[in-house]
Every structure is written in C-alpha cells, then in structure tokens.
Amino acid sequence: MGTYLNPGNSGFTRIVNSDYVDKTGMIALINQTIDTTRNLICVSRPRRFGKSYAAQMLCAYYDKTVDSKELFSNYKIAKTPDFYEYINHYDVIYLDMTHILNESDKDNFIDYIKTSITEEIQKSYPEVEISDTLSTTLINTVEYTGNKFVAIIDEWDAPIRITSRQEQLWLDFLRMLFKSSGTTARIFAAAYMTGILPIKKDSSQSALSDFWEYTIFNPLEYSEYVGFTEDEVLGLCKAYGRDFSNIKKWYDGYTVGEIHSIYNPFSVMCALKSGIYTSYWRNTSVAETLMTYIDLDEEGLQQDIAKLIAGEKIVVDPFFFQNDVVNFTSKDDVLTLMIHLGYLTYEEVPDSYGDDDTMTGFAWIPNEEVRTEFEKILRKAKHKDLVELVKKSDQLLKDTIAGNEAAVSAAFDQIRDTSYAPTFYNNEQSLRYAIKMAYLSCVDQYARVEELPTGHGIADVVFIPKRSSSLPAMIVELKWDKPAEGAIAQIKARNYPAFLKGYGGDIILTGITYNSQSKKHSCKIEIVSS
C-alpha cells in the first residue's frame, strides 16, 4: 500500500464509518466506460461538494492490493451485475493535487509526481524495468502485471488555481499521460479527475480533448452523484431530527442539469450535527476570493453584483469562459467563474443556443449561506461604484427612519436615473425593483420580504430587523400614478402592522409613489408602535 500507487481503502473506510450517503452508483457508470473510448472522465463542481469523497470511494473499489467487497456490500454498487468483475482488479494511481502542492516545491511538483510514482512502482514491483520516461515505466508495469492502471486525480485544477507558473507544463504532463494514442490505451483502463474548474481551454477547445467532461453546466448522468439531492437531505433531516425547511432555506438552491435542488454536503452535515444554521464557508480559501471578484472592473459587473445582492436574477453567457481564474475578457467570464466556485447557481434558458452555439441563462445567489457571504463583503468592497451605492443606501435608510420625506423622494429620483434602475420604468413592478436597489445596504440589518401575506392583504415590501439589529421595522407600500397618502392609508386600513405584533419596536410606514407624467417620486412616512 502506497501514497500515490495503490493507496488502499482506509480513506473510504473512514468515510463510511461516519454519516455516508450512498453515492456508489457512480462506480457503475465508470465501470461501463472501462477500456472504451469514453474511459477518461472529468467531473467539476464547487468545493466541498463531495468530489474528494468520490475519489476515495473509487480508490477503495479499484485498488487490487486490498479486499473491499465487504466494505461495499451494503451499498448500491453491490447489487449491480458487474460488481465482482471490476472490484479490486487494478493498480491505482491516486494524485491529490492539493496535497502534492503542499508536499513538494510548487515549481517542481511535476518532477515530484514522476519520481514518487516511479519509486513506488520500484518498491511494489522490483522486477519492472524503470525507464527515463514515466509513460514507458507504466507500460512496462502493465506488461509485467498483466493489468492496467486506473488513474484518479483529485482537484486536477489546483496547480492552475494556486500557482499559474507551471500551468502549461502541467497541461503538457496530462497530455503526455492521456493523449489520443495507443500509449494511453495500453496504460489506463480508466481515468477519473475532479476539479472546481472544467479542463483548461486552448482557444475554444479543451486542452485534453479526449476527456469527457461533466460540469455544473452539463452534468448529464453524473448530476446526482456530486452533492446531496433533496431526497437524501430529507432522509438525513429525519435521522437527525432537524427542521428540513431551515436546511432547505440555508443550503439548497443549486441547479445541476435537470436537478433543481442540489445541496452542499459539507454545510448540510455541519448544520445537521450542530443544529446551527449559518454559513460554513467562512474558513475556506475559496470564500476569501469572493472579494477579489466583486471588486473587478469589468464593464457592467458592479451593476450585476448589486442586482444579485438585492435578490435579482441576472443574465449570464458562460460559453466563452476559458476556465481561467486570472484572465477575464468580460463580466460574463467573472460571473461564470463564480458559478463554478459555488457563489452563484445557473439555469439555462430553454432554446438559448444561437447560430454561434453560445448559450445564455439566469444566475442568482442560491441560498442564505452564500447570501451571508455576499452581505458580509458588501461593506468591504472597494470598487467605487459599489461603494457609492452603499453610501447612498445608508443615507436613504437614515432619512427614512428620520421621516425626511423630501430626501427619500430625491433619493428615488436619483436611483431612477442610474444604470441600477430597470430599463423600462413603466409599472409598479419597476418601482419595486428600484426599492431593492435603493435599500441595498439593508441586507445586513434586515430580512426583506416582498408581497408578504398579512391576513388582511399583501404588503408590498416589509423589512424585518435581524436579531442583531436595533433598527425599527419598515413597511413599504408602492403606488403608480397615485398619491403617497393613499399608500399609507392602505397600510393602516388593512392593518399590515399587526403582522409585526410582538416585535416590540417602532414601525416605519412608508408610502412611495411615482408620477409617470412628472417623472418624479413622492413619499409619505409615519411612525407607529407595534
């Protein structure tokens, strides 16, 4: 049993001894590809979506130096007809690229890989002739043992994300192992790679064209095997006695292929075990990069970031993204990267492919966990457009609480004339959108609820203070081509404040209207107690 050659099944044993959700169905998919033209597979998903668990599972199943039949006996794969045909039948090369970068000199990690694999082959098979090239040594090993290798590369893109100095050499090394030739067919029965990013592109084509890629945009049959499905989360909530609605609110929201509810397994398990619903991203290096992308200066990006934080969906075209974390040609590149990182989710618009094969869809912040990260970063952003918007929003909140109706009206007139306002400002829905943008900085102090049923009607927008906030609640009623006084009268007549009974503080009643003839907003503010 080695580190990079035949690592055994101890990693997967540790996983199944915890709260393992059965994902062994993935093995059956890979078994179907062994020694075929589809046997090179790359699955890319955000961090902590269970990719490394899958890699450990595959090591345990294919590694011929251990007996894993009992380990898998209670899982789905054991019920498939080819379970015994492939289990523990291969030499496994396992490369955890994050671990390798930590263990080696980052400028010479490829030499480290070659040396480490060669040394472990020498130790396991002393009779094998060692060559100057790794590929020839692997061929000699296959000829000696009579069986091929299964390669498992976890976080294949770590060298590109962590250090770009060796990017081209790393891609060339992978090409050497998995190029389209008889050499690869002689060495590998199958190869499985995971990563956050899809395989790096050269121009518009994948640099490793023989790999079949299963991305968050195009997961196909692998969609249910990376991340938790809703049925799996329901079962876990029942087992732990936890409230499913809270888990769904905080950690659901990712759309992967045809599945519209995929959950982050790491966060779900943290919440189930602790009973605390919060963001579990805070200690990850990926979370720390969000600020970098928010502050980039691509044209139109800041407006889209503001819309996302306000709770809107935005249009994104991911087609031209080069799977690069440094070089961006447009805001779509930045937003596409944020989808791969798990900060946004994406759903393709039906029939969105044009003559140039591009596609467009909608992206949005998937859940409360990720929204919390955006909210925390909002006030730390350095880009002048976003900074200015936050400053104006903070002032608007102060003016609203102070009852400064003229200032509030003027603030909405200013929002109307900016790029943050809807292109077509022609109905009450447009006004509701302007409310979101104008009160953008409230997201860290308030829970905003739109069209809230109160028992006596539907309040347009209600701002409910979070537990950590000492600010008053706000009820905002919107009117188009009607007096602001009518908005306040409706709030009172339908007794919307009764919904906040027991809140215990002041409630700001705010009526905001727009006159389509004068192109001006007006405002009426009253303060009542709950």
pLDDT per position as a tens digit, 242-264 = 999 999 999 999 999 888 899 99
16: confidence class by pLDDT, cuts 50, 70, 90: very high
Q: Which residue has the tokens 């580190």?
A: 3
Between CA 471 and CA 394 the distance in angstroms is 12
| Beta pairing, strands 506-515 & 520-529 | antiparallel
Residue 205 has a pLDDT of: 57
What pLDDT shows up at residue 163?
74
Residues 6+ apart with CB under 8 A from 231: none
Confidence band for 455, pLDDT divided at 50, 70 and 90: low
Give the number of other CB atoms < 10 A from CB of residue 54.
26
Question: What pLDDT is stored for residue 350 in this prediction?
Answer: 67
Whole-number Å distance between alpha carbons of 415 and 417: 5
pLDDT tens column, 300-323:
999 999 999 999 999 999 988 888
Exposed/middle/buried for residue 138 (C-beta within 10 Å: 0-12, 13-18, 19+): buried
Q: What is the mean pLDDT of residues 229-243?
A: 96
**pLDDT at position 61 over 60:** yes
Cα(399)–Cα(407) distance, integer angstroms: 6
Residue 508 phi/psi, 5-degree rounding, is -90, 115
Query: In Å, what is the CA distance from 249 to each residue of 253, 278, 330?
Result: 8, 11, 32
Cβ-contact 4, 95 below 8 angstroms: yes
> Which tokens go with 92?
């496994």
Cβ-based burial of 157 (10 A; exposed 0-12, middle 13-18, buried ≥19): buried
Q: What tokens does 391 get?
A: 């400053």
Read off the DSSP letter of residue 5.
B
CB atoms within 10 A of CB 448: 18
Identity of the highest mean pLDDT range in 180-189, 334-343, 497-506: 334-343
Give percent of the chain above pLDDT 90.
Answer: 65
> Which domains, ranges and CATH numbers included, belong to the chain?
10-224 (3.40.50), 228-378 (no CATH), 384-529 (3.40.1350)
Determine the pLDDT at residue 47. Answer: 86
The torsion of the CA quartet 30, 31, 37, 40, rounded to 10 degrees, works out to 30
Highest mean pLDDT among 34-48, 341-355, 411-425, 428-442: 34-48
With tokens 């769904």, the residue in question is 248
Q: 262 pairs with which residues across the strands?
A: 229, 254
What tokens does 233 get?
A: 């989360």
How does the average pLDDT of the chain come out, rounded? Answer: 90
pLDDT at 282 over 70: no
Q: Check residue 106 and give its pLDDT.
A: 83
Instruction: Return the structure tokens found at 122.
Output: 């020498």
Contacts of residue 478, defined as CB under 8 A and 6 or more positions apart, other chains included, come to: 428, 431, 432, 435, 460, 461, 487, 512, 513
Give yes or no for residue 358 having a pLDDT over 60. no
Residue 354 has pLDDT above 60, yes or no: no
Mean pLDDT on 457-466: 84
Looking at residue 396, its pLDDT comes to: 94
How large a percentage of the chain has pLDDT more than 70? 94
In the prediction, which pLDDT does 454 show?
Answer: 65
User: Please, are residues 361 and 346 in contact by the beta-carbon 8 Å criterion?
Assistant: yes
The two structure tokens encoding residue 368:
């409360």
Res. 355: pLDDT tops 80: no
Answer positive or negative: Cα dihedral of 107, 111, 117, 120.
negative
Neighbours of 492 (CB within 10 A): 12
Tell me what the mean pLDDT of segment 284-304 comes to: 80
Separation between Cα atoms, residue 64 and residue 77, nearest integer Å? 17
- Reported as a pLDDT band with limits 50, 70 and 90, residue 357 is low
**pLDDT category of residue 439 using cuts at 50, 70 and 90:** very high
* Section 42-54 average pLDDT: 93
The pLDDT of residue 112: 96
Mean predicted confidence (pLDDT) in 372-388: 87
